[in-house]
Amino acid sequence: EWRHVPGKINPADVISRGCSPSHLVESRWWEGPLWLVESPDT
């Protein structure tokens, strides 16, 4: 099932916006959005 992820919370957009390495280390890019680990029913 596909889900739309708004750009402000899309971890893939962090790289495409040209972030610094220090920002990347602290970003959600490593884990992804929280809803990825939640049950689809929530």
What would the two tokens of residue 33 be? Answer: 């959005």
pLDDT score recorded for residue 2: 80
Predicted model pTM? 0.42
Confirm if 28 and 12 have CB atoms less than 8 A apart. Answer: no
Rg (CA), the chain: 12
pLDDT tens, 3-38? 788 877 777 787 788 888 888 888 777 777 777 777
Question: In the prediction, which pLDDT does 5 show?
Answer: 80
At residue 42, the pLDDT reads: 59
pLDDT of residue 35: 74
